[in-house]
């Protein structure tokens, strides 16, 4: 069995010196069709960013886990199936993007990454989220999916969350504790199996955008009319009466809310003008 941490044999070698920028501490090896780590790291403590997107890694290589000062790790578009216990070694990590992998399992040690501000585990096969995710008290941006049937109530302990994306999952309910995320500005729960939205969302005083289309809503979220910062929402009217949908549309218009029936807010000029790149890791 091949060792994924050893350099490839009889393949065109990558040069560490050509991939590493000593001034920024950035190591870039994207789109190389790699399935094994290509070279030794003579000074792993100097590396602050690794971009290994669009390769064929099935695990996070040990070489990466040895980078004690790593702040940003981009590992999108690989073949990972889990986030291992060893992820807890990257104590200084601020951004972790593992989107478009085949991840089903997240180690509970993810909760040890207390400096993490942005976490993306979406576009894959994620089925469960550990309770320890609530330990990420500095987290501001979180994306989780795509096979989740539930999310832990401990998510509400991530008090700094500004953007939460739970879209394209199998959620039938949302924990009422989400209403405790008082810094949340953007909530995406579209394309799930929600029949209603919890009244606790009314407590999200900073929420500006609520994405809920693509859900079999049996009851419209009239409480949004009382949310002071809300600017727009999307929802589905397939299972409510035409009369109620018209009343809701009129009420939203009078309130000054942008309402999209059965279609996304993303792409709307009003939405795009408001959502700016405030990623704290950039």
Domain boundary assignment for the chain: 12-161
pLDDT-based confidence at residue 278 (cuts at 50, 70, 90) = low
User: pTM, whole model, 2 decimals?
Assistant: 0.92
Tokens encoding 152 = 């832990």
Does the pLDDT of residue 6 top 80, yes or no? no
Residue 269, pLDDT score: 84
**Residue, of 30 and 279, whose pLDDT is higher:** 30
Let me know the angle formed at the C-alpha of 89 by 88 and 90, rounded to the nearest 5 degrees: 90
**Could you tell me which of 13, 11, 12, 62 has the C-alpha nearest to residue 41?**
62
Alpha carbon of residue 211 to chain centroid:
15
User: Which DSSP state fits 5?
Assistant: T
Q: Which residues of 129-167 are buried (b: 16+ CB within 10 A; e: fewer)?
A: bbebbbbbebbbbbbbbbebeebbebbbbbebbbbbbbb
Across 5-9, 41-45, 270-274, 278-282, the highest mean pLDDT is recorded for: 41-45
Residue 37, pLDDT score: 95
Write down the number of H helices and E strands in the chain: 4, 14
Rounded-to-integer distance, Cα 202 and Cα 226, Å = 7
Give the residues across from 234 on adjacent strands: 211, 260
Rounded-to-integer distance, Cα 238 and Cα 245, Å = 9
Does the pLDDT of residue 212 top 70, yes or no? yes
Q: Quick one: average pLDDT of 207-213?
A: 97
Residues 6+ away with beta carbon under 8 Å from 84 = 59, 60, 107
Question: Phi/psi at 168 (nearest 5 deg)?
Answer: 55, 50
pLDDT-based confidence at residue 276 (cuts at 50, 70, 90) = low
- Name the H helices within 130-178: none
Rounded-to-integer distance, Cα 237 and Cα 251, Å = 15
Q: Quick one: average pLDDT of 246-265?
A: 97
Interstrand relation of 26-28 and 20-21 (parallel, antiparallel or unpaired): antiparallel
Q: Which CATH number fits domain 12-161: 3.40.50.300, 2.70.50.30, 3.50.50.60, 3.80.10.10?
A: 3.80.10.10
User: CB–CB of 76/101 below 8 Å?
Assistant: yes
Residue 2, pLDDT score: 44
User: CB–CB of 64/93 below 8 Å?
Assistant: no
Rounded-to-integer distance, Cα 22 and Cα 46, Å = 8
């Amino acid at each position: 069995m091949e060792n994924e941490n050893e350099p490839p044999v009889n393949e065109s070698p990558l040069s560490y010196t050509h991939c590493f920028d000593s001034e920024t501490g950035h190591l870039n090896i994207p789109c190389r069709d790699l399935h094994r780590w290509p070279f030794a790291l003579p000074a792993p403590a100097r590396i602050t960013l690794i971009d290994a997107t669009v390769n064929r890694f099935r695990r996070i290589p040990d070489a990466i886990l040895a980078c004690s000062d790593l702040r940003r790790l981009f590992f999108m578009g690989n073949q990972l199936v889990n986030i291992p216990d060893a992820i807890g070694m990257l104590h200084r990590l601020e951004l972790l993007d593992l989107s478009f992998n085949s991840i089903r399992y997240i180690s509970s040690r993810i909760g040890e990454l207390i400096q993490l501000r942005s976490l993306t585990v979406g576009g894959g096969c994620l089925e469960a989220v550990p309770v320890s995710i609530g330990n990420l008290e500095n987290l501001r941006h979180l994306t989780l999916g795509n096979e989740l049937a539930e999310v832990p109530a401990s998510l509400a302990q991530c008090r700094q969350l500004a953007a939460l994306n739970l879209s394209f999952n199998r959620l039938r309910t949302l924990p009422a504790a989400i209403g405790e995320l008082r810094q949340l500005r953007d909530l995406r729960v579209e394309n799930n199996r929600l029949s209603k939205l919890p009244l606790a969302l009314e407590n999200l005083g900073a929420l500006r955008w609520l994405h809920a289309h693509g859900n079999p809503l049996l009851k419209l979220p009239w409480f949004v009319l009382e949310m002071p910062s809300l600017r727009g929402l999307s929802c589905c009217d397939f299972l409510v009466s035409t009369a109620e949908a018209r009343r809701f549309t009129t009420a939203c218009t009078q309130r000054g809310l942008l309402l999209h029936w059965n279609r996304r807010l993303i792409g709307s000029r009003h939405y795009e003008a408001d959502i700016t790149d405030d990623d704290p890791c950039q």
